[in-house]
């Protein structure tokens, strides 16, 4: 299935246009605040920037519904903000504070919330979230929740083994799963052309027989509209979808990296295409934003960030007595694990005889599939009668008799 170059310009409500703007600005200003904190030596570990990639985190996460699940990568703070994470959680995480979601046990965007926000924490090993979110999607379907699971991967992470295992399994299961491939053209210091023999990383989808899109990752409306369509298609049962968002990593791999390996011309080209500036010009031209409302929004952002930064700075580091706490769940007093059923349990309990899954490939096991005549015959199934096209050599080949004969032999 070829990648679809997205040209979608869906109509949003004025408020939705402004939401996208607000979250992109929030994304950038949270990161700018942290850059200042980093320079003041208040960030404990590394600091990773999504400068220039905000439209992707914000536009894709904005396409999700409240019930949906997401798992961010390190450069997806914007997605967390859209999902409802307050900036103070991001500040406290980076500053290893006791008030952070992980109580200082991990940093950066490595935290989650299973209960309310439906966020799965990333780890530093790239690609691991792909099978995990596939599992989330399958479990959601089993429980009747009609959810979509979304995660992100970079151009670099798309070369991991677990990317392949995860996406292939998601495809085999037709899981309601959307994968955003942020092609920011650099995996640390290695450019895409030295990683992959593909021009479009969306072409990886062909290997899994799934739908893919290519979008301009610096156009937030296009990103949102494409993600929205993908989320709806996944929710409708069309299987996983891969979206390649083309963009550029304007900072180094992390704060320590001046990224001198990036050609000057490339940097200049992309700096002229700042997603927030482009979008602001669009909003002003379309009269969706004016100077007054812009100023109001900026004041709101400033006061929110000041308050949250202060909270984080004034928070203590974790006390050492918690160091051994929480390695194991101690049972119901620790976590009451209860699946949220949104389908009658009677459909699966008491156990019934084998039920055909709704998501198997059409014709599976019957010698007919989208691949046509070449579909394999599975474990002794009787092949379908060939009704049409009785002429020519191919008809003879695909005819009833030879197939039946080979089936008798026990397959091909």
66 contacts other proteins (rule: CB under 8 A): no
**379 binding other proteins? (CB under 8 A):** yes
Binding of residue 169 to other proteins (CB under 8 A): yes
Q: How far is the CB of 111 from other proteins (least distance, A)?
A: 5
Is 320 an interacting residue with respect to other proteins (CB under 8 A)?
no
Residue 352, interface with other proteins (CB under 8 A)? yes
Cβ-based burial of 268 (10 A; exposed 0-12, middle 13-18, buried ≥19): exposed
Confirm or reject binding of residue 344 to other proteins (CB under 8 A).
no
Among 70, 90, 136, 181, binds other proteins (CB under 8 A): 136
Q: Which of 142, 188, 261, 269 binds other proteins (CB under 8 A)?
A: 142
Measured from the CB atom, the residue of 4 and 143 that comes closer to other proteins is 143
Chosen residue from 345, 371, 395, 404 binding other proteins by CB under 8 A: 345
Q: Is 101 in the site for other proteins (CB under 8 A)?
A: yes
171/262 with CB nearer other proteins? 171
Sign of CA dihedral 398, 401, 402, 406: positive
3-state secondary structure the chain: CCEEECCCCCCCCHHHHHHHHHHHHHHHHHHHHHHHHHHCCCCCCCCCCCCCCHHHHHHHHCCCCCCCEEECCCCCHHHHHHHCCCHHHHHHHHCCCCCCCCCCCCCCCCCCECCCCCECCCCCCCCCHHHHHHHHHHHHHHCCCCCCEEEEEECCHHHCHHHHHHHHHHHHHCCCEEEEEEECCEECCEEHHHCCCCCCHHHHHHHHCCEEEEEECCCHHHHHHHHHHHHHHHHCCCCCEEEEEECCCCCCCCCCCCCCCCCHHHHHHHHCCCHHHHHHHHHHHCCCCCHHHHHHHHHHHHHHHHHHHHHHHHCCCCCHHHCCCCCCCCCCCCCCCCCCCCCCHHHCCCCCCCCCCCCCCCCCCCCCCCCHHHCCCCCCCCCCCCCCCCCHHHHHHHCHHHHHHHHHCCCC
Residue 55: both structure tokens together: 């439209």
**Would you count residue 350 as binding other proteins (CB under 8 A)?**
yes
Residue 117 CB, shortest distance to other proteins, in Å, is 12
The correct pick among 317, 329, 382, 404 for binding other proteins (CB under 8 A) is 329
Stretch that binds other proteins, among 239-247, 290-298, 312-320, 328-336 (CB under 8 A): 328-336
Helix (H) or strand (E) holding 214: strand 211-216
Structure tokens at 17: 């246009």
- Near other proteins by CB under 8 A: residue from 138, 205, 214, 312: 138
| Beta carbon of residue 95, minimum distance to other proteins (angstroms, whole number) | 16
Among 258, 263, 331, 372, binds other proteins (CB under 8 A): 331
Residue 149 in the binding site for other proteins (CB under 8 A):
yes
What CA–CA distances, in Å, run from 54 to 182, 209, 340?
11, 29, 33
Which of 1, 5, 114, 236 touches other proteins (CB under 8 A)? 114
Q: Residue 147 CB, nearest distance to other proteins (Å)?
A: 9
By CB under 8 A, the residues from 116 to 135 that bind other proteins are 120-121, 123, 125, 128-135
Q: Which helix (H) or strand (E) holds 31?
A: helix 14-39
- In this chain, which stretch among 42-50, 83-91, 277-285, 350-358 interacts with other proteins, using CB under 8 A? 350-358
Q: Could you tell me which stretch among 1-9, 12-20, 346-354, 386-394 binds other proteins (CB under 8 A)?
A: 346-354
Q: Which is nearer to other proteins, 129 or 305 (CB)?
A: 129
Taking the complex as a whole, the smallest distance from the CB of residue 411 to other proteins amounts, in Å, to 14
Residue 362 Cβ, how far from other proteins at the closest point, in Å?
A: 15
Minimum CB–partner distance for residue 23 and other proteins (Å): 23
Enumerate binding residues for other proteins (CB under 8 A): 101-102, 105-106, 110-112, 114, 120-121, 123, 125, 128-140, 142-143, 145, 149, 161-162, 165-166, 168-169, 172-173, 326-331, 334-335, 337-340, 345, 348-357, 360, 379
């Amino acid at each position: 299935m070829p990648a679809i170059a997205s040209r979608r310009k869906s109509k949003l409500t004025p408020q939705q246009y402004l939401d996208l703007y607000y979250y992109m600005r929030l994304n950038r200003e949270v990161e700018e605040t942290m850059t200042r904190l980093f320079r003041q030596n208040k960030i404990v570990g590394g600091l990773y920037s999504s400068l220039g990639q905000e439209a992707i985190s914000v536009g894709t996460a904005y396409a999700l519904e409240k019930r949906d699940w997401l798992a961010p990568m390190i450069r997806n703070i914007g997605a967390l903000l859209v999902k409802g994470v307050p900036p103070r959680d991001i500040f406290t995480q980076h500053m290893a504070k006791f008030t952070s979601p992980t109580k200082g046990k991990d940093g950066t965007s490595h935290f989650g919330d299973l209960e309310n926000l439906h966020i799965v924490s990333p780890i530093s090993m790239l690609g691991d979230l792909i099978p995990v979110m596939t599992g989330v999607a399958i479990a959601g379907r089993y429980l009747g929740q009609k959810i979509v699971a979304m995660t992100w991967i970079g151009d670099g992470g798309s070369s991991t083994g677990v990317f392949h295992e995860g996406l292939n399994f998601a495809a085999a299961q037709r899981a309601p799963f959307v994968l955003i491939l942020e092609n920011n053209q650099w995996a640390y210091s290695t450019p895409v052309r030295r990683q992959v023999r593909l021009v479009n990383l969306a072409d990886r989808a062909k290997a899994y027989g799934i739908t893919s899109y290519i979008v301009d990752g610096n156009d937030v409306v296009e990103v949102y509209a494409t993600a929205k369509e993908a989320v709806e298609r996944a929710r409708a049962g069309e299987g996983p979808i891969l979206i390649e968002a083309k963009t550029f990593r304007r900072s180094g791999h992390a704060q320590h990296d001046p990224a001198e390996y990036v050609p000057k011309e490339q940097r200049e080209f992309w700096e002229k295409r700042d997603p927030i500036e482009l979008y602001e010009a669009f909003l002003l031209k379309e009269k969706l934003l004016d100077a007054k409302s812009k100023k109001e929004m900026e004041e709101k952002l400033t006061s929110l960030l000041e308050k949250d930064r202060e909270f984080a700075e004034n928070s203590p580091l974790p006390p050492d007595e918690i160091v051994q706490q929480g390695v194991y769940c101690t049972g119901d007093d620790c976590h009451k694990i209860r699946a949220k059923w949104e389908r009658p349990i009677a459909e699966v309990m008491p156990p019934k005889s084998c039920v055909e899954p709704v998501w198997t490939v059409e014709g599976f096991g019957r010698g007919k599939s989208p691949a046509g005549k070449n579909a394999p015959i599975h474990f002794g199934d009787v092949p379908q009668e060939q009704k049409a096209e009785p002429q020519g050599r191919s008809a003879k080949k695909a005819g009833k008799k030879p197939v039946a004969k080979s089936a008798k032999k026990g397959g091909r």
